[in-house]
C-alpha cells in the first residue's frame, strides 16, 4: 500500500517536471514577440527624427519619403501588435 503511494507520487512528480519546461517555452515565445515590437518603435522614433530634420532643412523630397516610411512602419507595428491578441478576430475586427 505504501509503495503504491510512493510510486504514484514519483510518477506525478516526474510529469510535473516535464510540464515546467513546456510552460517556460510558451512564455518565452510571448516575450519574444513583445521584444520584437521594440525595435520597430525605435525605428519609428528614428524616422520621426529624420523627418523633422528634413523638414527643418527644407528637403521636401526626403521628407515625403520619410512620411511614407513612417506610415509603413506604423502599419507593420499595428499588425505585429494585432497578431499578439488573436481574440479580436472573433469579433470581426481584423486590424485594418
- pTM beyond cutoff 0.75: no
Q: Please, is 44 exposed, middle or buried when counting C-beta atoms within 10 Å of its C-beta (0-12, 13-18, 19+)?
A: middle
pLDDT 10s digit of each residue in the chain, 96 long? 778 878 888 887 777 777 666 666 555 555 555 556 678 888 899 999 999 999 999 999 999 999 999 999 999 888 877 776 666 555 555 555
Q: Residues 66, 51: contact at Cβ < 8 Å?
A: yes
Q: At what angle do helices 2-57 and 60-84 cross, to 10 degrees?
A: 160
**The three three-digit cell numbers of residue 68, written as one number:** 511614407
- pLDDT for the residue 44: 92
The DSSP output letter for 86 is G
So where are the chain's domains?
Answer: 27-84
Amino acid at each position: 500500500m505504501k509503495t503504491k503511494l510512493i510510486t504514484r507520487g514519483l510518477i506525478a512528480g516526474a510529469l510535473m517536471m516535464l510540464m515546467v519546461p513546456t510552460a517556460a517555452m510558451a512564455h518565452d515565445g510571448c516575450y519574444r514577440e513583445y521584444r520584437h515590437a521594440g525595435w520597430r518603435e525605435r525605428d519609428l522614433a528614428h524616422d520621426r527624427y529624420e523627418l523633422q530634420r528634413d523638414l527643418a532643412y527644407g528637403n521636401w523630397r526626403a521628407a515625403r519619403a520619410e512620411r511614407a516610411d513612417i506610415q509603413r512602419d506604423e502599419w507593420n507595428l499595428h499588425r505585429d501588435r494585432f497578431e499578439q491578441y488573436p481574440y479580436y478576430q472573433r469579433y470581426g475586427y481584423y486590424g485594418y
